[in-house]
Amino acid sequence: MPNRNIKHLFIPESIAIIGASCEKGKIGHEILKNVIEYGYKGKIYPINIKEKEIMGLKAYKSVLDVRGDIDMAVIVVPAKFVPSVLLECGKKGVKAVAIISSGFSEIGNKNEEEVLVNTAKAYGISLLGPNIFGVIYTPTRLNASFGPRDVIPGDIACITQSGALGAALIGWTVLENIGLSAVVSVGNKADVDDSDLLEYFSRDKNTKGIVVYMEGVKEGRKFLQTAERVSKKKLIVIIKSGRSEKGAKAAASHTGSLAGSDKVFSAAFKQSGILRADTMEKAFDWARICSLPAPEGEGAVILTNGGGVGVLATDACDKERIKLLDDHKYLEETFRPYMPVFGSARNPIDITGQATVEDYFNAFKKAMESDKISALIVLNCETAAFDTVEFSEKVIKYFHSLPGWSKKPVVFNFIGGIKSKNAMDILNKNKIPAYPQPERAVNSLGALYKWRKYTKTEKKQIKKLDIDKEKIYSIINKAREEGRLQLLEHESKDILKACGLDLPKYKLATTIEEALKAAEKIGYPIVLKIVSEDIIHKSDIGGVKVGIKNAKELKNAYKEIMYRAKKSYPKANIRGILVNEMVEKGVEIIVGCSEDPQFGPVIMFGLGGIYVEVLKDVAFRVAPIDKEDALDMIDDIKSYPLLYGVRGEKRKDINSLAENISLLSYFSHEIPEIVEMDVNPLIVLEEGCKIVDVRMTLKEV
């Protein structure tokens, strides 16, 4: 637990600024100034080898010269001095250190950075950075950064890998009235990383939502597992840049972080309840809903004074899959009293531009109190007569009157000028999400639905396989002894069988007699396949024969396969011919397992043939996954309707497919020796699935 001291980055009782400076414009000056002026209440010790006093505070040559305890230090001295001042921090017993200084791994100086980490570990220091713009925690009025001084206190924590962007965003949050609990620049993540911070904020009662700007992650799996837990309690939104190939390259050259496959990132985020935003605007829009309760049941209501904006919101609800309540009788009874005759009580509820503040508020209150309405979207087109600010104030008063705040999620959108902006500002300041565009309001409510769906899902136990590891490793070791990384078909199948997976019958035959005997036992029709580590593309050289109906056909096929194999590959080491049970027709599926540089074992799935190869219609997950996740994964691909049975075919056994994907993911996670597995095809039948062919590759040692 290297980061037990992380809390001292946020709630230190005393802080030293090492490299504090009298000179305006210097980072050491700006940080000290921010610490003082933002209102930090603890002790502040400027450290400077020359000065006696800085900004009215007594300055010290070294932290070792300070009499009292120092909880946290901020280091802003040039890179070459950092190791020694950090060491002094260790000796002084400083618990947490934020290293602003750059000049480490981000420009290739990896050893210099490792030295810092070693010192931090030796003294139990939680080390943030290096190469950061600082750390801000509003509940303790701590602004130890050279970013803007003024930060609006609130309940969103912001973690950023880009210092420049983070500092710039603070100013933007002020304009947008976004309240923050913390801003943490993580820089090179030498010690304290995203996982540590998520862990910390998950227990921080001042933080309800976490926004992360990320270019790469060092320990993907650790991050994933942490996020999985944390997002059950707090909303996590991530902007992961480098989505495109060019963007990933730019990110790599910028921070030296490995971008990894973007599809895997998306899958990992989804699995751990993280919402992935593609823009900062969206990220903070979504973060605003972190205080809202989960919707109970379905059936949202749109309340509006303008038909047009109601239609736009309806379109947006459809896109977000938010169902609108359509019990017209109920809606008519509920809302008719608050509108003129030409108003519409069909959802969207249009109480028209004639509605007074009283009408609007009463309709709003009625909706809030209705058991049938699970979520509320309140829109308003600015008119001269309507006092939007007064309406907002009434809404806030109502929220405060509720025991334990609102039990129902509600979002607002006021379209208009300064009056609308003011009305939205006061809502947002009171943690009631309001947006200048109807789509942003609905999209954010959609984010709440997604997140709350995750928090409600119970993590199912992954069905464990009864794996005969001894058997598996005997096969693996045999291949290793023979210097092979590629397993033979029957070896791969033996391994899956040793995991308890159900496969069609097969037997390796080395003579025609053995083949006949095997076929007799399996039952015709059968499939013959050549087995040789030297022949990869079996079909291409005529090494596969399907639909063999009897002994006579078998003999001919056997001879022909052998003849062709030897002709194409005279030097091949032929192990024999695999006699396989013939599987009936169904939908062909490809399942692949491989090793992702960030996340370790991942599983890929798609429909066989053109769907994977040409249309690239595939879904990823970090392994292992349970059956529910596998069903979700199946739902991710566009060609999934083919599994429902098309052109008169019956529906395929999607349940069994999901079970198989889950088992294969579990297997690939449990046997790290096998770094790659291609199940191609797996055939989904009306009942059950059959793994027809599988290839496995061992890890290089």
Q: Which of residues 29-88 bind its own copies (CB under 8 A)?
A: 30
Span 93-132, contacts to its own copies by CB under 8 A = 107
- Shortest Cβ 353–its own copies spacing (Å): 5
When the beta carbons of 379 and 531 are compared against its own copies, the nearer one is: 379
Interface with its own copies: number of residues (CB under 8 A): 86
Q: Which is nearer to its own copies, 111 or 253 (CB)?
A: 253
Report the nearest approach of its own copies to the CB of residue 140 (Å). 22
Tell me which residues in 451-470 interact with its own copies (CB under 8 A): none
Beta bridge partners of 145: 134
Q: For 67, what's the count of Cα atoms within 13 Å in the CB-facing half-sphere?
A: 1
- What is the torsion angle, in degrees rounded to the nearest 10, for the CA atoms of residue 591, residue 596, residue 598 and residue 602? 20
Residue 306 or 606 having the CB closest to its own copies: 306
Residue 627 structure tokens: 């059956």
Please check whether residue 605 is in contact with residue 637, taking contact to mean a CB–CB distance below 8 angstroms.
yes
For the bound state, the minimum distance from the C-beta of residue 32 to its own copies, rounded and expressed in Å, comes to: 14
Between residues 90 and 438, which has the closer beta carbon with respect to its own copies? 438
Smallest gap from residue 123 Cβ to its own copies (A): 30
Using H for helix, E for strand and C for coil, what is the string for 291-322?
A: HCCCCCCCCEEEEECCHHHHHHHHHHHHHCCC
Q: How far is the CB of 172 from its own copies (least distance, A)?
A: 6
Residue whose C-alpha is closest to residue 157's, from 4, 9, 3: 9
Least distance in angstroms from the C-beta of 300 to its own copies: 11
Task: Report whether 519 contacts 558 (CB < 8 A).
Answer: no
233, 346, 453, 464: residue in contact with its own copies (rule CB under 8 A): 346
Query: Residues 6 or more apart from 175 whose CB is under 8 A from it?
Result: none
96 versus 378: smaller Cβ distance to its own copies: 378
Least Cβ distance, residue 354 to its own copies (angstroms)? 11
Rounded to a whole number of angstroms, the minimum distance from the CB of residue 202 to its own copies is 25
Hey, which residues between 515 and 544 contact its own copies (CB under 8 A)? none
Measured from the CB atom, the residue of 49 and 107 that comes closer to its own copies is 107
Reduce the secondary structure of 489-552 to three states and give it as a string: HHHHHHHHHHCCCCCCCEEEECCHHHHHHHHHHHCCCEEEEEEECCCCCCHHHCCEEEEECCHH
Residue with smaller CB distance to its own copies, 302 or 548: 302
List the beta bridge partners of residue 620: 604
> What residues form DSSP beta bridges with 209?
156, 235
Contact stretch for its own copies (CB under 8 A) within 268-276, 348-356, 461-469, 593-601: 348-356
3-state secondary structure of 88: helix
**By CB under 8 A, which span of 15-23, 341-349, 364-372, 401-409 interacts with its own copies?**
341-349
CB closer to its own copies, 277 vs 465: 277
> Which residue, 72, 177, 56, is CA-closest to 125?
72
Contacting its own copies within 291-330 (CB under 8 A): 305-312, 314-315, 317-319, 324
Rounded alpha-carbon distances, angstroms, from residue 688 to 151, 523, 684: 58, 19, 6
Pick the stretch among 123-131, 426-434, 611-619, 678-686 that binds its own copies (CB under 8 A).
611-619
Angle value at C-alpha 326, between 322 and 327, nearest 5 degrees: 140
**Cβ closest to its own copies, residue 293 vs residue 307:** 307
Residue 348 or 681 having the CB closest to its own copies? 348
Rounded to the nearest whole angstrom, what is the least distance from the CB of residue 82 to its own copies in the complex? Answer: 17
**Residue appearing with tokens 């392994």:** 623
**Position among 22, 396, 512, 642 found at the interface with its own copies (CB under 8 A):** 642
CA pair distance 180, 41, nearest whole angstrom? 19
* Rounded CA separation 683/586 (Å): 6
Of 125 and 441, which has the nearer Cβ to its own copies?
441
Q: Which of 381, 527, 577, 674: binder of its own copies (CB under 8 A)?
A: 381
Q: How many CB atoms lie within 10 A of CB 110?
A: 14
Report the candidate in 514, 534, 552, 551 with the shortest Cα–Cα distance to residue 543: 534
**Binding string, residues 472-511; x marks residues near its own copies by CB under 8 A:** ----------------------------------------
Closer CB to its own copies, 195 or 443, in the complex: 443
For 381-444, the DSSP string reads: E--SS--HHHHHHHHHHHHHHSTTS-SS-EEEEEESSHHHHHHHHHHHHTT--EESSHHHHHHH
22 binds its own copies (CB under 8 A): no
What is the nearest approach in angstroms of its own copies to the Cβ of residue 219?
A: 21
Amino acid at 480: R
Please report, as residue ranges, which positions from 431 to 450 form the binding site for its own copies (by CB under 8 A).
436-437, 439-440
Report residue 105 as tokens.
């791994």
637: contact with its own copies by CB under 8 A: no
The amino acid sitting at 119 is: T
Stretch that binds its own copies, among 7-15, 52-60, 168-176, 228-236 (CB under 8 A): 168-176
CB 561 within 8 A of CB 510: no
Residue whose CB is less far from its own copies, 94 or 612: 612
For the segment 182-221, give every residue that binds its own copies (CB under 8 A). 213, 215
Does 594 engage in binding with its own copies (CB under 8 A)? no
First to last CA, the chain: 31
Residue selected from 205, 614, 700, 701 as contacting its own copies according to rule CB under 8 A? 614
Closest residue by Cα to residue 671 from 697, 641, 652:
697
Q: How far is the CB of 239 from its own copies (least distance, A)?
A: 8
- Segment lying near its own copies (by CB under 8 A), choices 9-17, 166-174, 186-194, 230-238: 166-174
Query: CA 327 to CA 332: how far, in whole Å?
Result: 9
* Closest among 615, 590, 594 to 603, alpha carbons compared: 594
Residue choice 160, 181, 231, 374 for contact with its own copies (CB under 8 A): 160
Residue 106 beta carbon to its own copies: minimum distance, rounded to whole angstroms? 9
What's the rounded Cα separation, in Å, for the pair 159 and 369? 37
Closest to its own copies by CB, 278 vs 333, is 278
Can residue 383 be called a binding residue for its own copies (CB under 8 A)?
yes
Report the C-alpha gap between 85 and 100 in whole angstroms.
Answer: 13
- If the CB atoms of residues 318 and 482 are measured against its own copies, the closer one turns out to be 318
Q: Which residue, 625 or 657, has its beta carbon nearer to its own copies?
A: 657
Nearer to its own copies, 160 or 662 (CB): 160
Q: Output Rg (C-alpha) for the chain, integer angstroms.
A: 32
- Asked if 86 and 117 touch (Cβ cutoff 8 Å), the reply is no
Residues in the chain: 701
Binding residues for its own copies restricted to 395-424, rule: CB under 8 A = 415-421
Q: Which residue of 3, 162, 492, 580 would you call a contact of its own copies, by CB under 8 A? A: 162
Q: Within 243-282, which residues bind its own copies (CB under 8 A)?
A: 243-247, 250-251, 253-255, 278-281
**610 interacts with its own copies by CB under 8 A:** yes
Q: What is the DSSP string of 444-490?
A: HHHHHHHHHHHHHSPPPPPPPP---HHHHHHHHHHHHHTT-SBPPHH
**Least separation in angstroms between CB 432 and its own copies:** 20
